[in-house]
Amino acid sequence: MSSRIAELGALISSNTQKIDEYLIANSLPSPSFEENGPVKLNLSAELESARGALLNATAELQALLQTPDDLLRPILNGTSLEAISRYDMARKIPVGGSISFQDLADQCSLYEPDVRRIVRFAIAHHFVFREPRKGFVAHSAASRRLVDTQGARDGLGVMFDDCYQSFGRTIEAIEKYKSQDIDKTGWALAHNGQSLFETFGKHPEKAKRFAGSMAAFNASPLMSHKHMATDFPWETLGNGTVVDLGGSHGELCAALALTAPNLQFIVQELPRTVQSVDRATLPAEVAPRIEFMEHDFFTPQPVVAAVYTFRQIFHNWADANVVKILRSLIPALRSGARVLVHDLILPEPGKLPLMQERQIRYVANVLMGKRHYMLNGEYRAMDMLMLSICNARERDEEDWRQVFTEADSRFKVLRVFTPKGAALGIVDVVWDGEGSNFSAK
């Protein structure tokens, strides 16, 4: 019987050969750290599976060949990436060329030995930048992304300018407050007592950057609205009304309207968001069926509807607040009304492959939209992120069922599932309350 390290070695060899042969056969570029290295490999679904197996095997083999003491030593230090983001170093390095450490330090108004160590750490641990000859810095594929992609720059900025300080104060907040309140967090301790929403309200430039990082995050096909549009029988609702609470500028409703031509849609948002809506951005063929309404979802719901949707809303709030939001729906609910939650559904612990477990704990991947090969990953990272910044959390199926039951036993959870190829799951709930049978308005 072969040893585990021998099994892993064989698996690595086999899957590497499969990927290499596919790239050659399809005239695709091979992975490279060079500046013009491919951003994505454009593999088939079968080869993406092989790639995942290869990453899992290499990670496990590396861990097996280290000692327990090695595994207990933290190897990540965010200082390097924080400096790269804050001083916009990537855009100070010429595309297709190089720059000396001294010239880069001068442009950043920093001490040259500090720039040297920052860059060399980034090269060693993140493959960000290259040192083509001693004392000179050039781009790698990763640093070139920071030059070419605003979303990548926004994500790194949010990570290190806004969130990074919060992580180091999360345990302090837990011990100090013992509270689920949104202003009793590591974020609040790092931002002069302000909650995340208060910080963004007072600093529009931070809010804009956060929106940019989320736009990059949501641009992935894994986050597409099509999953909600195709995995619920909208055609059964006739000419009913769908209310999207916290629906931003109507992106979800627009996608649903294209699928369900007989439905009417109401996007409920806070006044400042409603006032910022540009209806010209809505597809012309569905815009007449989409209405915007000022509403705070902590207050009683005024609209009787067929369906109430919440996309990535509840993960911003602790259980007690989610219960309040759900109870605020009750005045408008009629028997048969549906509540659809479009949010992350945590997997059972230990069910994901090793690299997915690692990726889901690495928050920068979440904020920078680095989701091009994962199907259902990055949950744990989001879970830890929400603890630090909002005192909120991601939930598994049991958690979702529990929060609806706590809100009211008349909420009946029908399904909790994650569509194939989606990052966000769907919690499908029906209101089984007293009163007349549901009639959509």
Give the pLDDT score at 304.
96
Give the pLDDT score at 437: 42
Query: In this predicted structure, what is the pLDDT of residue 358?
Result: 52
Check whether 368 has a pLDDT greater than 80.
Answer: no
> What is the rounded CA–CA span in Å between residue 22 and residue 42?
10
State mean pLDDT over 249-258: 92
Please say if the pLDDT value at position 430 is more than 60.
Answer: yes
- Please report the pLDDT score of residue 421 as a whole number: 78
For 308-366, the pLDDT digits (tens) are 999 999 999 999 999 999 999 999 999 999 999 999 888 877 776 665 555 544 444 44
SS3 (DSSP) at 421: coil
For residues 129 and 139, give the distance between their C-alpha atoms in angstroms, rounded to a whole number: 5
Number of Cα atoms under 13 Å in the Cβ half of residue 119: 32
Summarised one tens digit per residue, pLDDT across range 81-105 is: 999 999 999 999 999 999 999 999 9
pLDDT tens profile 162-206: 888 898 899 999 999 998 899 999 999 999 999 998 998 899 898
Q: Strand (E) positions, 256-360?
A: 264-269, 290-294, 307-311, 338-343, 345-346
**200 vs 219, more confident:** 200
What was the pLDDT predicted at 176?
Answer: 93
Please tell me the predicted confidence (pLDDT) of residue 373: 35
d(CA 57, CA 64): 10
Q: Over range 278-285, report the average pLDDT.
A: 91
Cα 191 to the chain's mean position, in Å?
22
The residues that are catalytic are 315
Q: How many residues does the chain have?
A: 441
d(CA 158, CA 199): 12
Give me the pLDDT at residue 353, please: 64
Strand-pair category, 136-138 with 98-100:
antiparallel
pLDDT value at 269 more than 90 = yes
Long-range contacts of 197-206 (CB under 8 A, 24+ apart): 199/162, 206/161, 206/162
Backbone angles phi, psi at 64, to 5 degrees: -65, -35
Mean pLDDT, residues 396-417 taken together: 96
User: Which position has the higher pLDDT, 66 or 308?
Assistant: 308
Is 74's pLDDT higher than 80?
no
